[in-house]
Amino acid sequence: MLAPQRRSVVLAAAALLAAPGALRAQQPAKVWRVGFLTNGTAESTRGQLDAFERGLAEHGYAVGRNVVLEKRFAEGKLDRVPALASELLEAKIDVAFAPSGVAAQAMKKLGAGLPIVFAFAPDPVGQGFAQSLARPGGNMTGLTSTHTELSAKRLELLREAFPAIRRVAVLYFHAPSAAGVAEQLAETERAAKVLGLATTSEQSPSVEDFERAFASIRRQKPDALVVIENPMFYTNRVRLAEQANALRIPAVYNVAEYVQAGGLMSFGASYNDLARRAAAHVARILRGAHPGDLPIERPTKFEFALNAATARAMGLVIPQSVLARADQVID
């Protein structure tokens, strides 16, 4: 049996040896800094941001606990996006969530090698974000919206709901920052030919130009309208839907948010679901995965949305067979 004095020395030594482990156990968990960059407004992207935060929580990363979310909103002014991207870099974020192709491109141009996750990029390979969908290879990964691939389906649904249409106007804006617009336009025109529909097209480069663009469309006297998705249209979708409804002809859009803003009908990938799934990529990166090793994923949730209230206000009748197929009906 050890003498009392020697026992005290042994216990003290044991306590010193155990102390580093105890101190490590008491250290707070790391708080990660995640950047969120959008070309939209806080209001227009609220659903996406909420879905992203839910996705983070599903993977063990809760905002306010072990994640700080640095948010930057360009408020629809695309020329502000690069400066906001620089602000996020200066905020020492660990990973950037830049949902749109515009926001992701701005982060990429900083050239800092920061991990970047996108959610709605229409053509990640063509935009230079990745070498391939299966093996991105760089510092970017995420999900693609597949807008172009769904162009024909939108026109088919429009024709099914309104079989009498013969002439379709296509509204678009093709800017360097709006990737995939030319491809969507070409696919829409190809699909129209297959369906025996004539097309005319009209560009609108800004919200201030909407009135002129819609006046031009009105003079063309189309039977229906197809709106090609781009960031400027999305941010100003309430005003755009108002102008489209004033034509009193059916219009189809890419995503359900336009229908929620008063537009008539839409078909496309769920932006909120893409944002939620993008959180899984962010979580894997925070746990040590390299973005270039994470495959770019495609949508798994598609939404066919209809606004019955808008249809009634415009004097349009949507067949019950079409209404029954809708995922969302706003009344």
Task: Tell me the per-residue pLDDT of 230-280, one tens digit each, with 9 for 90 and over.
Answer: 888 998 999 999 999 999 999 999 999 999 999 999 999 999 999 999 999
How many whole angstroms separate alpha carbon 97 and alpha carbon 55? Answer: 12
Residues 131, 254, single domain; the answer is no
- Sign, CA torsion 87/47/287/128: negative
The count of structural domains within the chain is 2
Task: Tell me the per-residue pLDDT of 139-179, one tens digit each, with 9 for 90 and over.
Answer: 999 999 999 999 999 999 999 999 999 999 999 997 766 67
What pTM value is reported for the model?
Answer: 0.87
Residue reference for tokens 């929620």: 260
Q: Provide the domain limits for residue 168.
A: 148-269+303-330
How many whole angstroms separate alpha carbon 209 and alpha carbon 84? Answer: 26
Nearby residues of 217 by Cβ (< 8 Å), 6 or more positions away: 169, 171, 200, 202, 225, 247
User: DSSP letter string over 220-232?
Assistant: H--SEEEE---HH
Q: Is the pLDDT of residue 98 over 60?
A: yes
Residues 296, 308, single domain; the answer is no
Residues 96, 174, single domain; the answer is no
Residues 245, 217, single domain; the answer is yes
CATH of the domain at 110: 3.40.50.2300
SS3 115: coil
How many whole angstroms separate alpha carbon 36 and alpha carbon 85? Answer: 9
Residues 231, 177, single domain; the answer is yes
Cβ burial, residue 164 (10 Å; 0-12/13-18/19+): exposed
